[in-house]
Structure 1
Amino acid sequence: MTGYQPRHASAPSPRGHEPEGCLTVAVRLPVRVVMFVLVLPVRLVWDGLVAAGRAFRRGVLGPVGRALSWLGRVLLVTPARWTWHRLVVPLGRGLAVVFRWTVTALFVWPWAALWRYVLLPVGRGAGWLGRGLAAAGAFLGRVLVVVPVTWVHTRLLVPLARAVGRGCGLLGRYLFVLPAVLLWRHVLAPAGRGTGLALAWLWRWLVAAPAAALHRYVLVPLGRAVVAAVRGTGAVLLLLGRYLLVVPLVALYRWVLAPAGRGLALVVREIAAAAAVAWRVTGRVTAFLLRGAGRVLYVLLVAPLIGLWRHVLAPFGRVLRGWVWQPVAAACRAAGRALRSAGYSVRSALRAARASVRSARAEIRRALFGVPRSREREPLP
């Protein structure tokens, strides 16, 4: 296919090399011209919005975002971090220590003392008393109950039960078992055999033989006739459905719907391809126009600003930094170092004075009151 092809177009089908019809070629050129005319304003507006958005992001949103980030870090993050590390964390640690000691003094130590000095001794005494009572009860139960019951069971109940069991076994054998065996062997078994033979003969000639004859000579021929009638009816209905429904529907699809669908698909495909080609071509046109407008803006606005910055503001900034800012910063740093060294010397002098005062106070206390006795604090439970 001749003409401009977009880069993002799909791969050609295996039948793409086949010659195309005159209808396709006749539809393609007008559709592409119309789509180019329709798409060009849309592409111009789209590319203009994209360029404006990029410029707005680079020139406005980026600096504003960086400024807001710096302000947030200076005004919020740094004070919040200092407050957390210098105030909240030490205060929380102190409150945690106070709460732990309070809970220990109010709940742990009283319950530990109660357990150690009250409940544990009472429990041990109750355990000893319970074990003694259990031993005494076991001894009394063994002497007063177990030994007499064992003697009665061994000497009286076991021989009596054996004798009664033998007598009942002999009575049951001669009164029930032997008569029942004789009755079954000589009366019930012969009667059952004769009754079974009679019932089997009656079932064979009164039920089985008539049922077999009914199935063979009545039901089987009737079923075959019903199956033949159903098959014939189904064949007739199948022929009627084929020539009254299927054949007209196939003809409608083959000669009406399929050509209309192919034409509609051709139109839609050509419109989509023309839109893609017009989008690409208008993109190049708008890129050329925007590039020219950008060059004009650069020559009229950006180049003078760059020259002003490069030849006026930057040299003035370097002179200001070298002759004003750096000497002032060096003087401030020297003053800060001097102040820090003076502060270190003052703090060291104060520490030495506090140490000498503590030692003098300790000497006076020892001279007046003597050496105090060391008192060891008993650990709490």
Structure 2
Amino acid sequence: MELRKQPPESPASAEAAARPVHGERRPAPGGGCLVAAIRIPVRIVMLVLVLPVRMMWDALAAGARFLNDTVLRPVGRALLWLGRAVFVWPFVGVWRYVVVPVAKGLARLAKVCVGVPAVWLYRWVLTPLGHGFAWVYTRVLVPAGHAVVRVLRAVGAGFAAVGRAVYAVLGVLARCLVVVPAVWLRTWVLAPAGRALAWCGRGLAWCARMAVTGIGIALYRVARVLFVLPAVGVWRWVLAPVGRVLAVVGREVRAALGHAWRVAGYVSLAVGRALGTLLRWIVVEPVRWVYRSVLTPVGHVVRDAVLRPAAEAARGVGRAARRALGSARASARQARADVRRMLFGEPAPVRAADRREPSVAEGRTLGSSTTALTKD
């Protein structure tokens, strides 16, 4: 028996206890015995089915990442560089060193052969011709056009007066012969006949509407009894319960699939870590030990005992060879100089040209007493 009272549970601790662990969704409370009976078998079956798929998926993802990092990305960079070298750089070189200079040369040629003559033709031929045509237009054609317009206006005014008179006569004749008889015919013949036909049409339409309404009501009641009421009964007493059961099953299958996928992810992660640890113990650690304990000391011994003496010997041989080549070149130059002296004699001494300024050794100095005027 416990003598001390347990502290009351705080709302924060209750909320923390009700919070899902590792992102797992908790099922809604009050699912019922049907939900509880479906959930556990469905989750077990989903875990058995999903676990191989998740492990295969994780293995494929790891292999794809390894293949991308080690093969596809270097090959892609090499292909990109090759594509630039084969397609981009030649076109850039052709554009920069062929097309652009040729285009500039053609532009200058077009300017010299076409632009300058066109400007000269426009300035010294077309512009004077245009000024002359403008003067003719202003001084000759415009006054002639005004005179013609005045004559045409006078002729048009006469024709307009005649046309107005003819139009007035034709309007009176049309009113007396066409408009007045047409108005009388519409008022006393066509309008009464149209009203009578409209009344008859409304009566026929009312009769047809009543007949169609009665037939429609009868067909509606027959269809309701034969189709609607059985369909409502089937939906209410058969399809709706089956749909609710299927919805519960589908919801539980979806939740079980997510739960199985997450659990399979944890299992796959654990298996991957175990395989990685095993691979490290079997392959990596022995290779590292061999590298550190065997290859590195052997490499140091080879470097100190073989490679460095060989490099020093090679450098000494190179220095001796360079000195021998330098001595041979000096001997060859001396031999060529002796042959030139024997064939052509000693070269004439070069006489220095007289300069107005003293030489560098005899230059003027400002801070010394041995100037050009006092020295011996």
TM-score normalized by structure 1? 0.45
User: Could you say which structure has the higher helix fraction?
Assistant: 1
Select the structure with the greater relative contact order (CA < 8 A; seq sep ≥ 6): 1
